[in-house]
Structure 1
């Protein structure tokens, strides 16, 4: 991958090398191996301190660390959404925002599209995003690299005017235009070196500490669409239905060859278990359809008018309604 400091500089490269005990080109650690853009204004030239975007050490695998990292970013964020949003409508907006996270923790969904899809205004989406940007790890839900760094610096109470100016001019850092950065930030060489060291300690990809799954699409069990008469058509998603068939023809061919009662009993038990499984799956499908139909019935106003008409609804209410 590229390096933020590939160009020549006329300003104090030796000072940075001495101050940070590293060469100027190694101010940021090794490239985690991706050329994706972390933000619209700066290519992915940032160097992740872990070397590969994960929390594992270079000395080998640690079972405890691997177990701790088993949770996905989606699951981690989902837990925080449930705690942070008491209002069902706001929680739904936050869940939509969470679905827009990429594996690095950046919010890639379009705010206006979310507002239109949920039948709400952009202000409600912006307010939900502001809450989500307080979640751990610091920096997630950022829309670009500068915002990601700013969120982390704010948590550290280090987002002062000078640091804001530096973050707003990352392209100058990429060009190693330190003279201009000193002037814009209003700092001397010593202060700028300290600021660069602080930025180096930040994580440009906060979501990478978690296992995969941030970008996995959620597959719905049911599909709901509006009918011409104003009602709702509710269908099971055939792609998610388990496909289990009992081959009675094969059973009829095999069973006559049973040599004794034990083998006959075994074959009969296998057929019984297979039939039980298919009946259970069929019952499961019918239950999902009944539950979905009741949810749609009770949330008709939400489906027609948008998120502001979302009603509180729990499993007990649905269970009582469907018997």
Structure 2
């Protein structure tokens, strides 16, 4: 073996994760909301990116459209006029020109309305109208001043300013606190406790730590909390579910020793151990059924009626509609696709004025990033559509007949059919939704493991098996409650080979109690009725 230095050539292939490739992968797995936020950030950062403008309708942006396009046109033209003006009075000349244009537009609108604009919108704030006395000077006043942006220096009269804001839970409780307590110290403690109440209505802090932080006696903090417990909605400020329910029952005058014993054993109620509860509460079967029905009518989260966050509805990425020939028409939701363009004209104009290598490098980076982003968005849309079409082809029976006919499907089957990698299909189906005639489903819903058939036929989807288990449990009677073994037997009779532990796993995943607990619940409901 020679130890002398020498030159060697080797040829290898490797996949390098470039920044552009990482960006494309990131865009592929983003939801439509996250994608919009990402594109908005790129539009602010990259001057060569711009939104694709919608085509304007007939009428354009003239001054005759109730003044809607007057300012916009004037601003663009005054920008050009300011560049053409020279000397020290350039800004003053441009301002005078703008005022003349606005006055002419104002006159044109007044002629069309056949009245003065001051008679339409009382925006003349700051003028000094004559008072009741003859020619007496009065302070400038307008009933629109400071309301809804109606002043001359504001953007315009805004009716949305008169829409009342949604009352939050904190504001609702603070208003009651002002009426219930007069002592400033108690009010301070009360406001601090209200700030510690979460959106569900529960107090999330320990009273001892609150008293230590505020430097107040614990008894005083407890007294203020007792006052908050009497506020609307009933059950607010509770520190546990049992206390929340107890406060609501006290407000209804339904809290007695038997009910207190029931609330102290909510774990037994959750397990439906009614025989033990009857012994602990000292009531018969009928009274216990009434108590349980009373508890079920209570609100375990009273704070959710106030100040809840904005619920963002699910916006589908793909629409699936039946076609006239019996097939399915699959299309992307254009509202979820960002429309961005690369401003090549601006790039050509600015690139001629670059003065150093730093500016050239910045422009080069911007044009490359913008070009790659538009290509990545286009490739993302095409990939989503391709995967959606294959899912619809595989699950045609589900769309036509229902969930019982959902076929077993995995990522590899779709990836092999469209010629892509499994990881790409996984990213495409993540946080993407499909609107079908049977509802809106996440794309991952259509991927389900297979369960073999007992007669050697086609395998069954796990989702369809769950649906059959739920159907059989929903149709059972108090005298004929199906155990897991019975469910296994009936499924095998219908051609589904499944183990008992799998049935138990599916039942627990659907939050269906065991047969013993279901029998107790059905018997209690039958006795109560």
Alignment TM-score > 0.5, same fold: no
Q: TM-score per shorter chain, which class?
A: 0.3 to 0.5
Q: Could you tell me the TM-score, scaled by structure 1's length?
A: 0.44
- TM-score, with length taken from structure 2: 0.27
Answer 1 or 2: higher relative contact order, Cα 8 Å, separation at least 6. Answer: 1
